[in-house]
């Protein structure tokens, strides 16, 4: 049953994986039980398993993008632009994942923090 669902939705990915990992071009000549066993035996970063789980990146790609983002942020944090909160580097991971959410994070100096705090609290120092 699961095999039928996978083949109905992800047959292209499945065929590519069968050729890449098992060198099988015509899986239709095999028994359904063998095909299902081969499907389960595919690695987690195979096309069909990533499609089933909805992942866009492998774990390795995800970690490498996170490392690059962290290094970029650390380098940027040492600049004058960081002190003025401008030209923040874009996240490579977010670009790869296609997340178009525009969340604006604001960093403040001590003086601007106190000004913003007074503005938000109505001048109270609590």
Which structural domain, as residue segments, surrounds residue 39? Answer: 2-53
Last residue of a domain, one of 36, 53, 70: 53
Asked if residue 106 has pLDDT above 80, the reply is no
Q: How confident is the model at residue 104 (pLDDT cuts 50, 70, 90)?
A: low
Burial of 48 (0-12, 13-18, 19+ CB in 10 A): buried
Do 80 and 49 belong together in one domain? no
CB 92 within 8 A of CB 68: yes
Which residues, at least 6 apart from 16, have a Cβ–Cβ distance to it below 8 Å? 47
Residues in the chain: 126
Q: Tokens in use for 71? A: 């290094």
| Domain count along the chain | 2
pTM greater than the 0.85 cutoff: no
In a domain, 126, yes or no: no
pLDDT tens per residue across span 41-77: 999 999 999 999 999 999 999 999 999 999 999 999 9
């Amino acid at each position: 049953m699961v095999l039928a669902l996978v083949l109905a939705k992800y047959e292209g990915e499945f065929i590519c994986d069968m050729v890449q990992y098992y060198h099988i071009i015509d899986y239709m000549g095999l028994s359904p039980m063998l095909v299902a066993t081969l499907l389960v035996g595919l690695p987690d970063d195979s096309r069909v398993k990533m499609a089933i789980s909805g992942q866009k990146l492998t774990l390795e790609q995800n970690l490498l993008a996170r490392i690059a983002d962290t290094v970029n942020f650390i380098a940027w944090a040492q600049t004058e632009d960081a002190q003025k909160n401008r030209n923040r580097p874009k996240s490579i991971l977010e670009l790869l994942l296609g997340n178009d959410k525009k969340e604006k994070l604001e960093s403040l100096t001590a003086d601007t923090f106190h000004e913003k705090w007074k503005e938000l609290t109505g001048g109270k120092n609590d």
